[in-house]
Structure 1
Amino acid sequence: MKVTIKSIWNTVSAWHWDVNEECCGICRMAFDGCCVDCKIPGDDCPPVWGVCNHAFHMHCILKWLNANELQQCPMCRSEWRFKSDEK
């Protein structure tokens, strides 16, 4: 029996975070990658936004806030509050 394959489908997929900035302002790593604490990019290290619209890796901003007495955005120095998903 002879089998002929007429076409081969190569499937490629890609994902990226919907972030206006290319990299985290704290660790300077790309959002499509992961922060220095993580080994694998994905849902374990998502970008988070402040009300000032600056975005950082979740682990990076949490370390920043825990290390600093003043709870300020590292970029604009405004009071840091997480932006809620609710509108």
Structure 2
Amino acid sequence: MKVTIKQWHQVSTWHWKLPADDDLCGICRVSFDGTCPSCKYPGDDCPLVIGDCNHNFHMHCVLKWLETETSKGTCPMCRQVFRMKGGDVLSADNTNQSEINNVSQGSDAVMDALD
């Protein structure tokens, strides 16, 4: 018996590799599988930032938070000094476009840090 496939439709999905209880951004309360309010499409254009305190945020959300006067450079969830996993202090004052690009390009490395 021979079978001929005339048409084939493939659908793919992806998900950030995060603990099940941590699937929403702590600032905008949008799922990480979705996008932050600043982005159109999920994925590398809307990367996650993981703090040393293990709180996760959309990069754009945490940068906006750090720009506010009330943030004082702290995590919005636990109020510790906000450091990206790996040791760098992320603040609106010392973040330039190349650093933002490095975070965007390094989103795979961020996900590997969770393993």
Fold match (TM-score > 0.5): yes
Q: Work out the percentage of aligned pairs sharing the same amino acid.
A: 53
Runs of at least 4 residues off by over 6 Å? none
Deviation at 1:22, TM superposition (A): 1.0
Map 1:16-35 → 2, pairs under 5 A:
16-20=15-19, 21-35=22-36
Deviation at 1:79, TM superposition (A): 1.1
Q: Which residue of 2 aligns with 1:6?
A: 4
TM-score, length-scaled by structure 1? 0.83
1:10, 1:33 → 2: CA distance?
Answer: 23
Q: Which of the two has greater helix per residue? A: 2
Letter in 2 for 1:29: V
Letter in 1 for 2:75: C
1:81, 1:22 → 2: CA distance?
Answer: 20
CA-atom RMSD, angstroms?
2.3
Structure 1, unpaired ranges of 5+: none
Q: Is the CA contact 1:19–1:55 (under 8 Å) kept in the aligned structure 2?
A: no
Matched, 1:74 2:73: no
Structure 2, unpaired ranges of 5+: 87-108
Q: Secondary structure at the match of 1:56?
A: strand
* Aligned positions, number: 84
TM-score, length-scaled by structure 2? 0.65
